[in-house]
Amino acid sequence: MTDPQRPPSERARVRREPERARYDRATIDAILDEALYCHVGFVHDGKPVVIPTIHVRVGDDLLLHGSPASRMIRSITGHPVSVAVTLLDGLVLARSVFNHSMNYRSVVLFGTAEVVEEPALKLEAMRRFTDALVPGRWGEARVPTDLEVRSTTMLRIPIAEASAKVRTGPPEDEEEDLGRDTWAGVIPLRLTAGEPIPAPDLRPGIPPPGVPS
């Protein structure tokens, strides 16, 4: 069992506001599963590069995919990588400027990306990527051909060195600011889906899938 209070490694230890740190897999997995995309950091020519991409969690691994020609894919395969996932939950408005903050849930993961070679595993990972967008989508869309599977590089990063950081709740103001006539509280933020926009060449009579809640 992971101890929710103990970082798995020194580099995965949350430094700032350690009271917001969570090291348990349940918290980490829930954040990874809810987020639709992540930011991948790697070192290229000795310098840092950050690129957004989509991810999916399968058991104890975070999976990334891309074209074999991608700089990101080539730079991280077999090399150290850091992946961050952030969900913004609200603006925290305090009575003092200094105590303004945000409510959020984030995960920072460290590891080395390894290639997933087995075609059956790659196909299963592609199913997860697809159903993460809209549950059940895999059963509606045309599944990948062997060539499409072969032309996708799938990478796996073990979820071993990870930390979550979570801020919830109201602002924390200094005692001497509580008497001010300034509104204080939280403005919740949420990613919401709008009305589906059919493709211009969609044949008539095909209903849209259930949209993510």
Among residue numbers 46 through 85, which ones bind a copy of itself (CB under 8 A)?
Answer: 46-52, 54, 66-67, 69-71, 80-84
154 has which bridge partners?
65
Instruction: Decide if residue 98 touches a copy of itself (CB under 8 A).
Output: yes
**Candidate list 21, 32, 40, 162; residue touching a copy of itself; CB under 8 A:** 40
Integer Cα distance of 209 and 52 in angstroms:
26
Instruction: Decide if residue 209 touches a copy of itself (CB under 8 A).
Output: yes
Task: Decide whether 1 or 152 has the Cβ nearer to a copy of itself.
Answer: 152
**Candidate list 3, 117, 183, 204; residue touching a copy of itself; CB under 8 A:** 183
Among candidate residues 144, 114, 109, the one with its CA nearest the CA of residue 126: 144
52 has which bridge partners?
39
**CB-CB contact of 153 with 68 (8 Å):** yes
CB atoms within 10 A of CB 146: 9
Tokens of 74: 């080539």
| Of 22-30, 55-63, 114-122, 183-191: span binding a copy of itself (CB under 8 A) | 183-191
**CB-CB contact of 24 with 163 (8 Å):** no
Instruction: Decide if residue 204 touches a copy of itself (CB under 8 A).
Output: no
| Of 1-9, 19-27, 55-63, 178-186: span binding a copy of itself (CB under 8 A) | 178-186
